[in-house]
């Protein structure tokens, strides 16, 4: 976003975080992180060392060892949907990522998610009551299924201007190029 602003100050993008669950089949309460790592990587496990090193280069102190619960993320996505409706999605996303990846928060816990909401600028008790209900669960699940049906299989996945998709972690220049490509008028088809 910073590079885009430097290169094209006239472009004012809007960011939306859409639901996509990496592990949609996990139970609502999640599973232990140890069981998840064993299921995913086998007995030798995976320490996420490469991701941690990349995080260090951009100032993100990943602390995967603090994560005790591999969550089902439906409620976390519901919180982001709720935050978007209340104009706080970006702030809540930042707090959510920090809570999970740096502090090991249990994202299946409604109180932990309510704390995230409060730190992101939402009223804690109102957000907690909303999360304790089933409000918009169907919207989030439908959004997740829409992404899967469109062929998205992982994150990050960027969709620019509903025209250009980019999968995986990419350098800023690649993302800016995709943004600019997405703003080009469609080419006329020749017969």
Q: Is 166 helix (H, G, I), strand (E, B) or coil?
A: strand
The answer for residues whose C-beta is within 8 angstroms of residue 111's C-beta and 6 or more apart is 128
pLDDT tens digits in sequence order for the chain, 191 residues long: 999 999 999 999 899 999 999 999 999 999 999 999 998 888 776 778 888 998 999 899 999 999 999 999 999 999 999 999 999 999 999 999 999 999 999 999 999 999 999 999 999 999 999 999 999 999 999 999 999 999 999 999 999 999 999 999 899 999 999 999 999 987 776 66
The angle that helices 124-132 and 74-85 make with each other, rounded to 10 degrees, is 130
Computed from CA positions of residues 20, 165, 61, 40, in that sequence, does the dihedral angle turn out positive or negative? positive
Q: What residues form DSSP beta bridges with 164?
A: 160
Structural domains present in the chain: 1-14+152-183 (no CATH), 21-150 (3.40.30.10)
Tokens coding 82: 């709720």
CA distances (Å), 165 to each of 23, 62, 117, 129, 181, in order?
21, 27, 29, 35, 10
Q: What residue has token string 């816990």? A: 109
pTM of the model: 0.90
Cα angle 89, 66, 20; round to 5: 35
Q: Is 157 helix (H, G, I), strand (E, B) or coil?
A: strand
């Amino acid at each position: 976003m910073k590079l885009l602003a430097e290169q094209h100050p006239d472009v004012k993008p809007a960011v939306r975080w859409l639901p996509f669950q990496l592990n949609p089949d996990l139970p609502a309460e999640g599973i232990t992180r140890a069981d998840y790592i064993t299921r995913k990587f086998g007995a030798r496990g995976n320490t996420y060392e490469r991701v941690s090193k990349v995080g260090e280069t951009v100032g993100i102190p990943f602390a995967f060892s603090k994560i005790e619960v591999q969550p089902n993320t439906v409620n976390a996505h519901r919180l982001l949907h709720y935050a978007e409706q209340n104009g706080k999605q970006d702030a809540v996303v930042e707090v959510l990522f920090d809570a999970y990846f740096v502090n090991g928060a249990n994202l299946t816990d409604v109180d932990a998610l309510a704390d995230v909401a409060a730190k992101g600028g939402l009223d804690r008790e109102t957000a907690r009551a909303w999360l304790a209900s089933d409000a918009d669960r169907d919207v989030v699940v439908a959004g997740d299924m829409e992404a899967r049906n469109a062929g998205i299989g992982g994150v990050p996945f960027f969709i620019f201007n509903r025209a250009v998709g980019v999968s995986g972690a990419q350098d800023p220049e690649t993302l800016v190029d995709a943004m600019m490509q997405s703003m080009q008028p469609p080419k006329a088809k020749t017969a």
